[in-house]
C-alpha cells in the first residue's frame, strides 16, 4: 500500500510553478515566511498525516464511534491524531501570531489539510470543523466571546461544530424551528433538535462549541429570521473553564455509508435541562454570518473530495504498476510473460482520468485558497475586492466539481483493482464510500447549481463573471506551444458559447418563470465547472511546457510530460462533453420540468 | 420503505406490449403455457421475493457469512429463502418437464429472477449460479454426469459454482495454473487454487458442484489448453448420494464492499486430500464450454444490475413523493407550505434518469432473454441461427450497459435522499454498494469492450451487425407520431455515424497494430450501448404511443405518458453524449495509448 497521500512533486508544481505562492511572502502578513517555512510546514503535515492519521483510517472505518450511555466511545488513535494536529499548531495555522497562530496563507494551510483528508477524512473532520467555527467567532463574535472561546478552540482544548440542519427541513433552512428565547441574564434559552451534526459529540476534548442557527421568538419568517448562537456543551466562565453542563445532549449517532470516523449526531437542545445560547452579532443576521463558515466549509469539502480522489489515484497507480496480468492485444504468444496492467490502454485511460480529476480538482481548490489569500491580504484594495467577487462566483464550482469528479476517480480506482478493489482488504472501496458524502453535505450539488445559476452569475451586474473572463484571457494568451494553443482555442470557443447561453438564460430569468430557467441548473454547473477545470489544466500545461523546455533530469521531464498528457486527456476527453449541456441549456429543455409526479 | 421490487405494470408492458411474449405460447415447447401461467409464475416470484428475500436483505448485509473452523456460518433466513426458491420450482424453471422443470421461456424466468435480485442480490446468487452450472452439465456433461448431478442441482439439494479465477491470473484465463492429472480410475486429480469463487462454500445444501477450469498436464499453452471439470465438495455415488469428502477446501472468505450475502471464497484443490475431478466433454475445450455459462452469467449480471438499479429507483421515487422540503424558485412566500421534493425539477431529473436507466436496462435484458428463447425455440431454423448471432453480438452490451448505468441510477437514488441516503438507516446505500460488483465480475467492462470491438463486431463477416441493423430498421419505420419520428431520426443518424466509424476501425484493424485500434474500446462500447438502449426506448415509445391513443383510465394514460417522457429524456439527455465517443473513435485518439507508465 502506497504511503503517498498527495504527490509532493505535484503539490510543489501547483503551489510554486503555477500559483507563485512564494510571492505571498512579500506581503506584510506573511513577511516572516519564505518557501522554506512553507515547505517545512507541508512536510510536517505530510508526516503527521502519514504517522498519525493514515494509520487508523481503516480501523476507524471498521470500528466506528459507539453511543454508550449518552456519550461517545471511539478509538484512542483518533484523539492521538487530533492532539498531534493541534500540538503541531495546525488548528491555529492561519490565525494571527497573537492568537497563537502561524499566520500561514490559506493556500499553504489548504495544502496541508489535503494530506490529512487524504490520509483519514473521518479523523480530519474534527479539527477542520473547529477551525471553521473558530473563524466565525473571530469575525462576528464580540470581544468577550472571542476571549472565552477562541484560545481554547485554537489550542485544541475545545472543538467546534456547525449546527444547521433540522430533521423536518433538511436543506431548507428557511424552515428551521429551533427557537431562542431571550432571558434577563443576557443569554438565550435554545430549544429544538438538529440532525447530521458532524462532530456533535466526541471523546476528544473537554468541551464542544456548537454554532447553532435558531429563530428568536417573533422573528420574521424564512431565512430573514435566523440568528446565530454559540451553544457550548459545558457552560464556561470568562476564562473558558467549564462550570456546568449545558442543556444540549446527544440524541443519537447516525450510522453512515462512509466518513465513519466523524460522528454524525442528532442533538437535542433544551430538552432535559435549560440550554444557554449566546447570540453572535446582530439578531436575524445568522444566515449571513453562517454563510461565511459555509463558504469556507464548501471550499473545504471540495478540497477534501479532491484529496480523497487523489488518494485513490495514488493507490490504484501503485497497484497498476505492480500487478501483472494479461498481455497486449498484439501479443500472440500465450507464453510471453504477463505485463503490469498499466500497460493496458484501458487501464491507462482509467488512471489518466483519475489524474485529470484529482490534480485538476487540487488545482481548482488551491486556486480558490489563493483567492482567499488575495481577498484578505492583497496590498491593492481593488484586487482584494476582485478576489472576493471571484471567490464568491467560484465557490459553488469549488464545492461541486471535485465532489462530483473525486468520487468518479475513486470509482475508477476500484475498477483498476478489479475484483481486489471490491474487497475490503484493499483501501479504495473506503475512499469511494467516504467520498460519496461530498456531493451531499454543505449544500447538495443541486443546491450549488441553483446558487450558481440563480444568484452568483448575476450578482453585482455579473462583475465576477467579467473578472473571471479577464483572468482566463491571461492564460489563454500565455499558451505558446502548438498543443497549448490548440487547447486554448478549444477553451476559448467553449467559453464563447457558454457566455452566449448565459446571456440568453439571463434574459429569460428577467422575463420568465424562474422555475423553467433554473430547471436545468445542473447542466449549467457541469458546463461552468468543466470550463473552469479546463482552464486549470491549461494553466498547468502552460507551466509544464515552459519548464519542460529547460528540464534536464529524466524525472523532471517525465513529470512535465505527464502533466501535458493529462491536460490533453482533459481537452480531448472531458471538455467536449459540455456540448450536450450547451444544447440542453440553449433549448431550455423542458423534459424534467414537464415530467409529472403521477407519470412516474 | 416501498415493497415494489419491479413495477408489475412496467413488466407487463415490456413482456406483452413491447415483446409479445405471449406469442411464445404457440411454440411447441411452451404450448402448455399461456399468459395466465406466465403471470402466475411472475406473481409467485414477486411474492416469494418480497416475503422471503427482501426481508433479510439488510440483515444479511450487516451480518455477513463467517468463516468458522473451515466452514461457513450464515443467517438462517438465507436457507429459508433458497429453499422457498427451489421448492417453488425456480431452479428448474426453464428446464424440461422430464427433468422436473416448468419449461418456462427464458424471458419469463429472467423476469422472475429480476424480482429476486431486486429484493436481495446476495441470497439470489446461490440459486442463479446453480441453474447456470446445471445448464453446463446438461449441455456438455455425459449421461452419467447428468444423471448423477442434474436432478440434485435442479431440486436445490446441491448448489453449483463456476471456478475460473486464480490469484495470479485474474481475468487472464490463459495463465491459470490449476492442474489436472489423469488417473487409471477415469477421474482426474485436481491441484491448484481459485479465488473470488461466489458460493464456493455455504451452509445451505448438502453438496456443492464446482465447475472448475484446469489444465491437463501436457496441454497446449494459453486458452487452448484449458479443460473443464466437475469437482464436487463431496464425492457421490451414481445416485448422487454423498460418499466421502473430496479434496476441495475453503481457504478463506473474502470480505466485500457489497453483495455480502453471497460468500466469495478462496478455494484450494488437492492441498490436504486428493481432489477428484471429472472431465466434462473433450479435453482442452473447457473455455468454449465455460463460455456458454459465462455468456448466460453475463446476461444475468446485466439483468441483476438493472434490477438493483430499478430497486433503488423505486425507493427514491417513494421518498421523493413523501418527503416535504423547500419550495419552488418562483415561490417567494417563506410561509407557503413545503412541497414534496418530487416537485423540484432537479429531483425529477434524477428520477427520470433512474427511470431511463432502470427501465431501459430491463428492456435490454428482456430483449436478450427473448433472443435466447428464439435461439432455442423459434420454429424457423434460420431465425434460430440469427437470434444466436444477435445475442452473441449483444452479450457484451447486455452485461456492461446495465452494470454501468444501474450503479449510476443507485448513485442518483442516494442523491435524491440527500443526507438520509448516506445513512445506513435507508436502503439505497446498500443498493449502490451491491451494484458496484457488476462492472467487475464475469469479465470487467473493459474486457466486454475488447470482446465487442475486437471480436463480436467482425465475427461471421459482421453478420450479427447486419441483422441488428435490420431489426432496428423495423422499429425506426414503426415510429409514426411526430415525437417518435424525431427520436427515430436521431437514432438513425447516430447509427449511420457509428457504422461509418465502425468501418474505418475495421479497416485499421486489418492493417494496423490492434493495440492502437483497441485502445479506445471503452468508447466504442459506450457508443454501441447507448445506441442499443436508445433503440429499446424507441420500441417502448412506439408501443406507448399506440396504447395511449386508445387508453381511457387515468392510471393507464399516466403510465404511457411516463414512458414517453422517459424516452424523451433518453433522446434529449443521453443519446447525444455519444457525439464525444464518435469523435474520439474517428480520430483514433491516442492519448491513453501514448501515455507512459513513467509519466504518471
Q: Using one digit for the tens of pLDDT, what is the confidence trace for A503-533?
A: 999 999 998 889 999 999 999 999 999 999 9
**Residue pLDDT tens, chain B, 600 long:** 889 999 999 999 999 999 999 999 999 999 999 999 999 999 999 999 999 999 999 999 999 999 998 889 999 999 999 999 999 999 999 999 999 999 999 999 999 999 999 999 999 999 999 999 999 999 999 999 999 999 999 999 999 999 999 999 988 999 999 999 999 999 999 999 999 999 999 999 999 999 999 999 999 999 999 999 999 999 999 889 999 999 999 999 999 999 999 999 999 999 989 999 999 999 999 999 998 778 888 999 999 999 999 999 999 999 999 999 999 989 989 899 999 999 999 999 999 999 999 999 999 999 999 999 999 999 999 999 999 999 999 999 999 999 999 999 999 999 999 999 999 999 999 999 999 999 999 999 999 999 999 999 999 999 999 999 999 999 999 999 999 999 999 999 999 999 999 999 999 999 888 999 999 999 999 999 999 999 999 999 999 999 999 998 999 999 999 999 999 999 999 999 999 999 999 999 999 999 999 999
Give B 301-340 residues with CB within 8 A of chain A.
317, 321, 323-330, 334-335, 338, 340
The interface predicted TM-score (ipTM) is 0.98
CA gyration radius, chain B: 24
CB atoms within 10 A of CB B238: 8
Instruction: Answer for the pair A276, A231: CB distance below 8 angstroms, yes or no.
Output: yes
Which of A395, A259, A41 lies closest to B424 in space, CA to CA?
Answer: A259
Please indicate if any CB of chain B lies within 8 Å of the CB of A421: yes
- Domains delineated in chain A: 8-154 (1.10.540.10), 160-284 (2.40.110.20), 450-595 (no CATH)
Q: Is B455 on the interface with A (CB under 8 A)?
A: no
DSSP state, residue A215: E
- Give the nearest partner residue to A355 out of B411, B522, B600, using CB atoms: B600
Q: How far apart are CA B518 and CA A329, in angstroms?
A: 8
CB interface of A with B, residues 276-295, below 8 Å: none
Beta-carbon separation of A600 and B424 below 8 A = no
User: Pairing state of beta strands B158-163 and B207-216?
Assistant: parallel
* Calpha distance B422→B100 (Å, rounded): 45
Res. A325: pLDDT tops 90: yes
Instruction: For the full predicted model, state whether its pTM sits above 0.95.
Output: yes
The cell numbers describing A247, all together, are 442543556
Best CA proximity match to B524, nearest among A486, A345, A531: A345
For the segment A87-102, what is each residue's pLDDT rounded down to a tens digit?
A: 999 999 999 999 999 9
pLDDT band at A70 (very low <50, low <70, confident <90, very high): confident
Are B456 and B400 within 8 A, CB to CB?
A: no
Window A:499-558, CB contacts with B under 8 Å: 513-515, 518-522, 558
Interface test with chain B among A490, A563, A599, by most B beta carbons within 10 Å: A599
**Average pLDDT score over residue span A11-32:** 98
**Closest CA relative to residue B306, chosen from B548, B558, B10, B17:** B10
Distance CA A126, CA A106 (A): 18
The answer to whether the Cβ–Cβ distance between B519 and A222 falls below 8 Å is: no
Express each pLDDT in A214-258 by its tens digit: 999 999 999 999 999 999 999 999 889 999 999 999 999 999 999
Cβ neighbours for B496, distance < 8 A, ≥ 6 positions apart: none
β-strand pairing of B207-216 with B226-232: antiparallel
* 3 state SS for A231-260: EECEEECCCCCEEEECCEEEEEECCECCCC
A352/chain B closest Cα distance in angstroms: 7
Crossing angle (nearest 10°) for helices B521-548 and B578-586: 140
CA-based nearest distance B167→chain A, Å: 10
User: Across the interface, do A419 and B429 touch by the CB < 8 Å criterion?
Assistant: no
Put simply, the answer to whether B422 touches A415 (Cβ < 8 Å) is: no
- Strand pairing category for A179-182 and A207-216: parallel
Query: What is the per-residue pLDDT for B413?
Result: 98
> How far, CA to CA in Å, does A180 sit from each of A107, A207, A212, A227, A246?
38, 22, 10, 9, 15
Position A74 scores a pLDDT of 96
Q: Which residues on B lie below 8 Å from A323 (Cβ)?
A: 170
Using CB atoms, pick whichever of A326, A422, A424 lies closest to residue B172: A326
Give the cell for residue B205. Answer: 445444501
C-alpha cell read off for A303? 478540497
Q: Is B444 within 8 Å of A349 when comparing Cβ atoms?
A: no
Local confidence band at A69 (pLDDT 50, 70, 90 cut-offs): confident
d(CA A415, CA A404) in angstroms, rounded, equals 17
Number of residue pairs across A and B with CB atoms under 8 Å? 276
Predicted local distance difference test score (pLDDT) of residue B5: 98
Please, which contacts does A458-463 make with residues 24 or more away whose CB atoms are closer than 8 Å? A458/A506, A458/A509, A459/A389, A459/A392, A459/A393, A460/A389, A462/A506, A463/A389
**C-alpha distances out from residue B577 to A581, A586, B251, B384, B564, Å:** 10, 16, 46, 34, 20
| Rounded distance between C-alpha atoms, residue A100 and residue A155, angstroms | 8
Nearest-by-Cβ selection for A418 from B170, B595, B600? B170
Q: What is the mean pLDDT of chain A?
A: 96
Query: What is the sign, positive or negative, of the torsion defined by CA atoms of A123, A128, A131, A134?
Result: negative
Contact of B22 with B323, CB cutoff 8 Å: no
The dihedral sign for the CA sequence A136, A142, A143, A146:
negative
> Which residues fall within 8 angstroms of residue A234, CB to CB, at 6 or more apart?
A206, A207, A242, A243, A244, A245, A246
Residue in B212, B210, B150 with CA at minimum distance from that of residue B177: B212
Question: What HEC string does A394-437 produce?
Answer: HHHHHHHHHHHHHHHHHHHHHHHHHHHHHECCCCHHHHHHHHCC
Neighbours of B31 (CB within 10 A): 11
Q: Which of residues 234-253 of A touch B (CB under 8 A)?
A: none
DSSP three-state, residue A170: coil
Q: Which pLDDT score, from 0 to 100, does residue A296 have? A: 84
Query: What is the grid cell recorded at B530?
Result: 447507448
Whether A164 contacts A298, CB under 8 Å: no
A444 and B572 within 8 Å at the Cβ level: the answer is no
Indicate which residue of A77, A106, A386, A442 is catalytic. Answer: A442
How many Cα neighbours within 13 Å face the side chain of A593? 18
Residues 357-396 of A with CB under 8 A from B: none
Task: Please give the pLDDT value at position B296.
Answer: 84
CB contact under 8 A, A433 and B437: no
- Chain A positions in Cβ-Cβ contact with residue B347 (cut-off 8 Å): 446
Those of residues 203-222 in B touching chain A at CB distance below 8 A are 221-222
Chain A residues with CB-CB distance to B599 below 8 A: 558-559, 561-562, 565
Closest of A168, A556, A436, A22 to residue B428, by C-alpha: A436
Question: Which pLDDT does position B113 carry in this prediction?
Answer: 97
Q: Answer whether B191's CB lies under 8 Å from B178's CB.
A: yes
| Closest B-chain CA to A224 | B334
Q: How far is CA B26 from the centre of its chain?
A: 28
- For residue A160, the cross-strand partners are A209
A331: three-class secondary structure by DSSP:
coil
Other beta carbons within 10 Å of A243: 10
pLDDT beyond 90 at A1: no
Selected residues 147-186 of chain B with any CB under 8 Å from a CB in chain A: 165, 168-172, 174-175
With CA atoms as reference, the chain B residue closest to A169 would be B325
DSSP state of B256: B
Which of B222, B329, B576 is the best mutation test for A, with the most CBs of A within 10 A? B329
For residue A447, give the chain B residue with the closest CA. B346
Torsion angle, alpha carbons of B479, B480, B484, B487, to 10: 60
Measured between alpha carbons, how far is A506 from A501 in angstroms, rounded to an integer?
8
Identify the H or E element spanning B121: helix B121-140
- Describe chain B by its helix, strand, coil percentages, rounded to 5: 60, 10, 25
List the grid coordinates of B292. 456458454
The distance in angstroms from the start CA to the end CA of chain A is 46
DSSP-assigned states of every residue in B484-507: HHHHHHHHHHHHHHHHHHHHHHHH
In a 3-state reduction of DSSP, which class is residue A374? helix
Quote the CA–CA distance of B53 and B119 in Å, as a whole number: 6
Nearest-Cα distance to chain A for B563, in Å, is 8
Does residue A442 carry a catalytic annotation?
Answer: yes
Is B298 in CB contact (< 8 Å) with chain A?
Answer: no
- Mean pLDDT throughout A139-165? 96
**Residue closest to B341 by CA, chosen among B405, B409, B430, B415:** B415
Task: State the first-to-last Cα distance of chain B, in angstroms, to the nearest integer.
Answer: 46
Contact A290, A165 (CB under 8 A): no
Cβ contacts (< 8 Å) between A258 and chain B: which residues? 422
A337: number of Cβ within 10 Å: 9
- Exposed, middle or buried: residue A413 (CB in 10 Å: 0-12, 13-18, 19+)? buried
C-alpha span between A108 and A41 (Å, rounded): 8
Residue B347's nearest CA partner among B414, B428, B433 is B414
Q: How far is CA A18 from CA A22, A366, A478, A545, in A?
A: 11, 10, 12, 12
Instruction: Tell me the chain B residues in contact with residue A348 when contact means C-beta distances shorter than 8 Å.
Output: 592-593, 595
Give backbone dihedrals phi and psi of B263, rounded to 5 degrees, phi first. Answer: -65, 140
Dump pLDDT digits (tens) for A432-490.
999 999 999 999 999 999 999 999 999 999 999 999 999 999 999 999 999 999 999 99
B182 grid coordinates: 489423469
pLDDT of residue B486: 98
Say which of A422, A440, A592 has its CB closest to residue B422: A440
Chain Cα centroid distance, residue A324 = 36
Amino acid at each position: 500500500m502506497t504511503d503517498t497521500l498527495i504527490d509532493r512533486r505535484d503539490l510543489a508544481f501547483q503551489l510554486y510553478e503555477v500559483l507563485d505562492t512564494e510571492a505571498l511572502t512579500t506581503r506584510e502578513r506573511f513577511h516572516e515566511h519564505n518557501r522554506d517555512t512553507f515547505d517545512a510546514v507541508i512536510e510536517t503535515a505530510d508526516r503527521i498525516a502519514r504517522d498519525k492519521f493514515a494509520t487508523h483510517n481503516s480501523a476507524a472505518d471498521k470500528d466506528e464511534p459507539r453511543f454508550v450511555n449518552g456519550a461517545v466511545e471511539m478509538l484512542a488513535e483518533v484523539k492521538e491524531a487530533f492532539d498531534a494536529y493541534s500540538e503541531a499548531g495546525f488548528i491555529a495555522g492561519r490565525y494571527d501570531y497573537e492568537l497563537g497562530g502561524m499566520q500561514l496563507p490559506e493556500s499553504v494551510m489548504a495544502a496541508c489539510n489535503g494530506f490529512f483528508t487524504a490520509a483519514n477524512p473521518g479523523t480530519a473532520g474534527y479539527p477542520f470543523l473547529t477551525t471553521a467555527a473558530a473563524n466565525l467567532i473571530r469575525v462576528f463574535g464580540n470581544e468577550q466571546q472571542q476571549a472565552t472561546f477562541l484560545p481554547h478552540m485554537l489550542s485544541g482544548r475545545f472543538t467546534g461544530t456547525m449546527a444547521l440542519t433540522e430533521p423536518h427541513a433538511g436543506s431548507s433552512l428557511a424552515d428551521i424551528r429551533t427557537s431562542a428565547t431571550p432571558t434577563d441574564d443576557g443569554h438565550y434559552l435554545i430549544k429544538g433538535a438538529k440532525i447530521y451534526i458532524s462532530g456533535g459529540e466526541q471523546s476528544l476534548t473537554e468541551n464542544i462549541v456548537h454554532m447553532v442557527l435558531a429563530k428568536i421568538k417573533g422573528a420574521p419568517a424564512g431565512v430573514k429570521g435566523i440568528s446565530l448562537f454559540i451553544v457550548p456543551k459545558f457552560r464556561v466562565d470568562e476564562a473558558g473553564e467549564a462550570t456546568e453542563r449545558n442543556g444540549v445532549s446527544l440524541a443519537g449517532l447516525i450510522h453512515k455509508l462512509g466518513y465513519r470516523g466523524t460522528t454524525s449526531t442528532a442533538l437535542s437542545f433544551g430538552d432535559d435541562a435549560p440550554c444557554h445560547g449566546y447570540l453572535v452579532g446582530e439578531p436575524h443576521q445568522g444566515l449571513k454570518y453562517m454563510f461565511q463558515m459555509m463558504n469556507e466549509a464548501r471550499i473545504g469539502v471540495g478540497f477534501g473530495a479532491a484529496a480523497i480522489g487523489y488518494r485513490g489515484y495514488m493507490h490504484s497507480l501503485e497497484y497498476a504498476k505492480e500487478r501483472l496480468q494479461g498481455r497486449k492485444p498484439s501479443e500472440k504468444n500465450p507464453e510471453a510473460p504477463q505485463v503490469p496492467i498499466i500497460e493496458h490502454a484501458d487501464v491507462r485511460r482509467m488512471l489518466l482520468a483519475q489524474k485529470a480529476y484529482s490534480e485538476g480538482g487540487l488545482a481548482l481548490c488551491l486556486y480558490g485558497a489563493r483567492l482567499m489569500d488575495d481577498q484578505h491580504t492583497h496590498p491593492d484594495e481593488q484586487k482584494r475586492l476582485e478576489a472576493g467577487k471571484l471567490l464568491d462566483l467560484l465557490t459553488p464550482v469549488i464545492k461541486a466539481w471535485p465532489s462530483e469528479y473525486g468520487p468518479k476517480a475513486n470509482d475508477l480506482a476500484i475498477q483498476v483493482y478489479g475484483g481486489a478493489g471490491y474487497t475490503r482488504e484493499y483501501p479504495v472501496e473506503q475512499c469511494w464510500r467516504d467520498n460519496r458524502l461530498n456531493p451531499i453535505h454543505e449544500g447538495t450539488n443541486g443546491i450549488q447549481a441553483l446558487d450558481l445559476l440563480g444568484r452568483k452569475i448575476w450578482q453585482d451586474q455579473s462583475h465576477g463573471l467579467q473578472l473571471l473572463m479577464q483572468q482566463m484571457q491571461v492564460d489563454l494568451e500565455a499558451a505558446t506551444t502548438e498543443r497549448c494553443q490548440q487547447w486554448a482555442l478549444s477553451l476559448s470557443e467553449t467559453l464563447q458559447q457558454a457566455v452566449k447561453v448565459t446571456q440568453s438564460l439571463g434574459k429569460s430569468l428577467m422575463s420568465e418563470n424562474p422555475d423553467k430557467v433554473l430547471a436545468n441548473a445542473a447542466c449549467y454547473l457541469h458546463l461552468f465547472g468543466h470550463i473552469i477545470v479546463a482552464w486549470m489544466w491549461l494553466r498547468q500545461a502552460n507551466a509544464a511546457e515552459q519548464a519542460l523546455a529547460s528540464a534536464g533530469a529524466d524525472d523532471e521531464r517525465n513529470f512535465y510530460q505527464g502533466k501535458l498528457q493529462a491536460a490533453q486527456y482533459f481537452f480531448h476527453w472531458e471538455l467536449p462533453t459540455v456540448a450536450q449541456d450547451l444544447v440542453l441549456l440553449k433549448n431550455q429543455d423542458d423534459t424534467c420540468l414537464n415530467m409529472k409526479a403521477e407519470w412516474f
